Amino acid sequence: MSIPLTEQENPRTVGISSLPTAEVVRLMNEEDARVAVAVEKVLPDVARAVDGIVERLRTGGRLFYVGTGTSGRLGVLDAAECPPTFGVSPELVQGIIAGGYDATYRAVEASEDDRGAGAHDLDVRGVAGADVVCGIAASGRTPYTIGAVEHARSMGAFTIAITCVPGSEITRAAEVSIVPVVGPEVIAGSTRLKAGTAQKMVLNMLSTAAMIRLGYVTGNRMTNLLTRNTKLRARAVRILAAETGLNETEAAAQLKAAGGDLRAALVMRKAGVPREEAERALAETKGVVQRAVEYLLSTKPDTKVNV
């Protein structure tokens, strides 16, 4: 078998084990600088994937990340960050990793060789044709992930592949392939390095751009964030003040009146309605603040927006 690009030896780092610490980290930094350039070259593919994700999520679908090892952990991480950042249900974006929950903190590498297990794990989560499945595999040849993507596509789901090896098997399995070519790793085959960084960058773009398009961000503000700790409550107060013109004391009082829900506080203030009405409007508009405000104003033409 030919050696995938991600498994080849890097000629620029062949002597790294004998270098002083300062040179080791300098070489690593130089290699990392190549990652953003590689991702830049595949931005059109990232945009196509985002548009496909948005189309499915708007009609009730969900986004599933599937992978093994580092790739799987990165998918789980990105999925876990969506609810607190964008105020969406944990069901909307989900991570599936070979070997289950234990594999997120302990290597369960043998599980990646089971092609049927990927399809089985999708079925356990109830993945259907309305959903999106994004397979993440640095080498592009992981049986578990390829099996999951093939199964998803056979059901009519929108499928995406993220890999760092052009022409690999997973690129043929998915409808849209995102292939940032980062080259051989600093340590041959250690794809938690450049390949992992590239995958993380792409995942950030997929989820963030999709949530922006769905309306869970206003300007560049996280207007749907969940206030689950002191830091996030303080951030919510600042966002509320910036969005409505209230001072921070007034914004804190408005947030308290909304039960700590930034979304409800924004709708209450902008549409001039009580908490219960704001919450009903948010339920009608899938938690999108601006749409909730517009919905309320359309049903109460005499209401003015508070800015």
The pair of structure tokens assigned to 258 is: 């909304």
Active-site positions read: 81, 112
Sequence-distant (≥ 6) Cβ neighbours of residue 262 within 8 angstroms:
87, 223, 224, 225, 226, 227, 236, 239, 240, 255
Instruction: Specify the residue for token string 């308290």.
Output: 256
The pair of structure tokens assigned to 15 is: 């002597």
Which residue from 180, 235, 210 is spatially nearest to 65, judged by alpha carbons?
210
3-state SS, one letter per residue, for 45-99: HHHHHHHHHHHHHHCCCCEEEEECHHHHHHHHHHHHHHHHHHCCCCCCEEEEECC
CA distances to 7, 14, 48, 180, 283 from 200, rounded to whole Å, are 19, 26, 18, 11, 32
Sign of CA dihedral 44, 63, 212, 56: positive
Which conformational region is residue 259 in: left (phi greater than 0), alpha (psi within -120 to 50 degrees), or beta? left
CA R_g for the chain: 22
Which residue from 225, 219, 266, 226 is spatially nearest to 244, judged by alpha carbons?
266
Which conformational region is residue 18 in: left (phi greater than 0), alpha (psi within -120 to 50 degrees), or beta? alpha
Amino acid at 83: P
Which residue from 182, 171, 201, 156 is spatially nearest to 46, judged by alpha carbons?
201
